[in-house]
Copies of this chain bind each other. A is one copy, B any other.
Amino acid sequence: MRDDSRRSMVRAAAMLFQERGYAATSFQDVIARSGAPRGSIYHHFPGGKQELAIEALRWYSDRTAALMRQKTQEGTAIEAVAGFLAISREALRKSDFRAGCPVAGVALDLADNDEALQAAVAEAFEEWRRVLAAAFERDGATPAKARRLAAFVYASLEGALMLARAHRDLRPMDDVITELLDHLERVSGSK
């Protein structure tokens, strides 16, 4: 297919970022993982590593937002969160604790420069938060409460992934899932 190697590079970059972060990922790693030809990197990404990273974040962010959006359409906001957490947990387990979050892997590697990448990171988080906040609001929460809950969900999830990966143990993830869902159910009465 046309542009196949380009897309495979974007996907491989996202995978590598979630495993070892942005700074620790080299083009060689991306080539090796994707199987894409070495000579076409700068043909597809004239902006180099930064451009590849921005595309990888966009690709992953949109894909993830679409998944969450779908879940919010199939049920309540709480059910969507529960389903999403289950998927994240399963991905972590099946990957032997390699599958974290590529956005997080980039976010913590950025120094003060690199504003374009920083913007891509912020936009990813913001897109996710928007989708979920809309569902909480639809289910009766005030706009402010919906925003807080959505931020809380993604913060907890990112932290849970970090802890579980560090321990190579699902328990921190399970603990966070238990407490987070408990909180969401408790507050669903007091919007």
Contact = CB atoms under 8 A, between A and B. Distances in A.
* A-B interface, 5 closest residue pairs, ranked by CB to CB distance from nearest: A155-B159, A23-B23, A23-B24, A159-B159, A158-B159
Given A21-B109, A159-B156, A149 B179 contact: yes
B20 A109 contact: yes
Contacts of A178: 148
Contact of A176 (B19, B155, B163, B172): B155
A38 interface: no
Interface in A10-56: 19-24
B148 A179 contact: yes
Interface stretch (A1-9, A59-67, A68-76, A119-127): A119-127
A126 B157 CA distance: 18
Contacts of A182: 183, 187
Interface residues of A, number: 50
A84 interface: no
Contact of A166 (B21, B125, B175): B125
A82 interface: no
A112 B122 CA distance: 27
